[in-house]
Amino acid sequence: MAKLFKDKKEIKVNGRPAWCSPGLWKTLAAGEGKGLCRVAFSFSKSERRVMRKRKPIKVSEWAEKHRVVVLSRLPGIWRNEVTPHMVGVMDGAARPFVHVISICKTPQSAGTEAVHNFVGYCIDRDPGPVMYIFADENTAKENSQDRIQPMIKSSPRLNSYMTGVEKDASSMRISLQHMPIYLAWARSASRLANKPIRYGIADEIDKEGYEPGKKETHPLNLIDKRFTTFRANYKFFKISTPTMETGNIWVALNEADVIFDYHVKCPFCEQLQLMDFKGIKWEGGSKADRKAILNKQLAWYECEHCKGKWDDEVRNRAARGGVWMARGTSISMDTYLDRFRPSNIGFHVPAWISYFVSLSECVHAFLKGLDSPLEMQDFLNGYCALPWKETVIKKDEDDIMSHKNELPAGVVPKGTIALTCGVDMQQVGFWFIVKAWKKDLSSHRVQYGYLPTWEAVENEIFNTRYPVEGDGPGVTMGIWRAALDTGGGKSKDDDWSRTEEAYEWLRKNSRGVVFGVKGASRPQVAKVIPRVIDKMARGNRPIPGGLVLYFLDTDKLKDTFFWRMERTTKQSQHITLNADTGMDYVLQILAEQKQKDKKGKVTWVQTRRDNHLLDCEIYSDACADPEWAPSLSFLAEKMAESDPGENTAPPQDPGTASQPDNRPSWYYRR
């Protein structure tokens, strides 16, 4: 018996089990004595492999062994040294008591890839149902095909869990041998319902699509309900680049029990420090050539302790020696997690700690933002990982009147390179504004008023010329570009709308100077986008040859207008008004205010009946916007190349005033 049971596992059985015959029991009992039976058994190689207790491994260590990156500047096996700041994110999220992880990040910071690593680890080590949620259906399908499935198939370890059945790897569901992976989008309540999940990844939660619906609660709340079955050990990742202070990711970050910031270690003095944009230096300050800084990589970081000068490579070395610390403390992430065991944690990831973003790129974005509130928002969101703080604008009459100067109405200031005109069409008549622009996009209100007829509009745009300050009685300027609003309601003739009147008038009178504009019904990528229309507004009557309309993001243009109102005459893009500006102008400019609604969303709200001159300001500004080609900068370059006298032509002869033939041909090029 001793030989029989050598190198075998043994179990002592008290009493005869049902599977043991009486005869066998009697024989065995006689050999062992006292009615005890020893039963020997052994596991097969496959059984031992399945039941073997695997050695614990961190998510970051697993990623370096088994994760293969496909869509990346550095494809291949995942290397923690490239994005060392993500090691703490992966390992911290894996703590058993941590359930909600908010990652407020910038693009190119590897945040989403780190979460993919976590999912890969769970497939291999801690399986459970997974759901990826994206802003819209197309994004969900693209991520399934381009990122999630390639992540699984490119890794030999993860690929071993594929079933091999073609239909088990669809764009909206991936069925592995031991767990499902669901794909969903925020606006589809049905995709978010009736699926118990253990791991949820909500990607780019500040994008359009994650707002509450009319009939359903907030998408993030719907996702949270899917964890009920796994409430003891679920993980909910919320990932996004921030937008506004009321955006989902900024709210989620500030709801966390603790926020962790990444502190880097100076390679020279070995002191830890939290990198800040203030530490990024470059020559020339706000007047520096941003393109030269970006192209020649002229920016550097200055260590706050030893004043050491870091280029991008030294910055990368500093990041590799960094640690995550609880915000407002000197406690490392590991120590904090061990001591306080928080269930909801947040990570803040700015661009300048990322291998993929150069210091010069950050400076370029900042300098670009000095010239535009939209570009400054891009810098704060996309590089600082900070929200854009929407100011609820409340101007008063004195604020507007403070922009008046001594120049009388109808006079063009020195240095003007072009005049633009905005025309707001009413059911009867038109409001208009004429603005003078300098090369730095500073503007001056030359004239404003009311025009009763189409003939008066033609005369203002094509015939009227304004004298230039100090250049003598014969030097005048005409309108370079005009924008006519194509709205206006019904015409006096019920069979003909004002919009159709505007279309017909533009087709006959554009002359490459005046263009139709229309406010966009929703936010646009650009403030000004041209589109060709080929049908009338009513009845679908064709427009022979089509008509170009410029669709305007009026909210963005209003933001820019009032931002310029905040600037002083020593800054670029400031605004001045002529000395004859009256209270009628001021009241119409203040007819709209930026206010927060019940959901915290900031929008422009009309508070007075008449806002026509504000609309004219927006149309006139659109004419000079850099996104409307040819831009003012192009115009300035052409003027510099041409004879100065060509730009300040004498007044037209009354007999030929309707033909703007005194302007160079490139003046009208679109």
Question: Which H/E stretch holds residue 365?
Answer: helix 359-369
Question: Exposure pattern of 72-105 as b/e (b: 16+ CB <10 Å)?
Answer: eeeeeebebebbbbbbbbbbbbbbeebbbbbbbb
CA distance 181 to 127: 10
What is the pLDDT, as a whole number, of residue 539?
59
Render pLDDT for 575-613 as a digit per residue (tens, 0 to 9): 999 999 999 999 999 988 877 665 667 788 888 888 999
Residue with structure tokens 């020279």?
A: 268
Q: pLDDT-based confidence at 645, cuts 50/70/90?
A: very low
Q: Are 419 and 621 spatial neighbours (Cβ–Cβ below 8 Å)?
A: no
Render pLDDT for 319-358 as a digit per residue (tens, 0 to 9): 999 999 999 999 999 999 999 999 999 999 999 999 999 9
Compute the average pLDDT of residues 224-250.
93
What is the pLDDT, as a whole number, of residue 600?
62
| pLDDT of 650 above 50 | no
CA distance 6 to 419: 101
Render pLDDT for 141-177 as a digit per residue (tens, 0 to 9): 999 999 999 999 999 999 999 998 888 888 889 999 9
| pLDDT of 9 above 80 | no
* DSSP secondary structure of 153-186: HHSHHHHTTB---GGGB-SSEEEBSS-EEEEEET
Residue 37 identity: C
What is the pLDDT, as a whole number, of residue 608?
80
| pLDDT of 434 above 50 | yes
What is the pLDDT, as a whole number, of residue 392?
57
Rounded to 10 degrees, the C-alpha dihedral 7/9/12/18 comes to -120
Q: pLDDT-based confidence at 32, cuts 50/70/90?
A: low
Which residues lie below 8 Å from residue 420, measured CB to CB, with a gap of 6+? 434, 435, 437, 479, 480, 481, 482, 483, 620, 621, 623, 624
| pLDDT of 33 above 80 | no
The residue with greater pLDDT, 193 or 252, is 252
What is the spatial order of strands in the sheet that 418-425 belongs to? 528-535, 542-552, 514-519, 481-485, 418-425, 430-437, 443-451, 575-577
Percent with pLDDT over 90 in the chain: 61
What is the pLDDT, as a whole number, of residue 647?
42
Q: pLDDT-based confidence at 307, cuts 50/70/90?
A: very high
Q: pLDDT-based confidence at 39, cuts 50/70/90?
A: low
The residue with greater pLDDT, 670 or 312, is 312
| pLDDT of 663 above 50 | no
What is the pLDDT, as a whole number, of residue 550?
95
| pLDDT of 659 above 90 | no
| pLDDT of 6 above 90 | no
Q: Are 390 and 597 spatial neighbours (Cβ–Cβ below 8 Å)?
A: no
What is the pLDDT, as a whole number, of residue 599?
60
Burial of 524: CB neighbours in 10 Å, binned 0-12, 13-18, 19+: middle
What is the pLDDT, as a whole number, of residue 642?
63
CA distance 45 to 37: 26
What is the pLDDT, as a whole number, of residue 49?
73
Question: Poorest-confidence range of 5-9, 146-150, 495-499?
Answer: 5-9
Which tokens sit at 10? Answer: 């043994």
CA distance 476 to 460: 14
Q: pLDDT-based confidence at 130, cuts 50/70/90?
A: very high
What is the pLDDT, as a whole number, of residue 551?
94
Percent with pLDDT over 70 in the chain: 87
How many Cβ atoms sit within 10 Å of the Cβ of residue 225? 11
In the chain, the domains with their CATH numbers are 9-51 (no CATH), 57-255 (3.40.50.300), 256-323+341-389 (no CATH), 413-665 (3.30.420)
Q: pLDDT-based confidence at 471, cuts 50/70/90?
A: low
Quickly count helices (H) and strands (E) in the chain: 24, 29
What is the pLDDT, as a whole number, of residue 74?
83
| pLDDT of 407 above 80 | yes
What is the pLDDT, as a whole number, of residue 605?
83
Render pLDDT for 201-232 as a digit per residue (tens, 0 to 9): 999 999 988 888 766 788 999 999 999 999 99
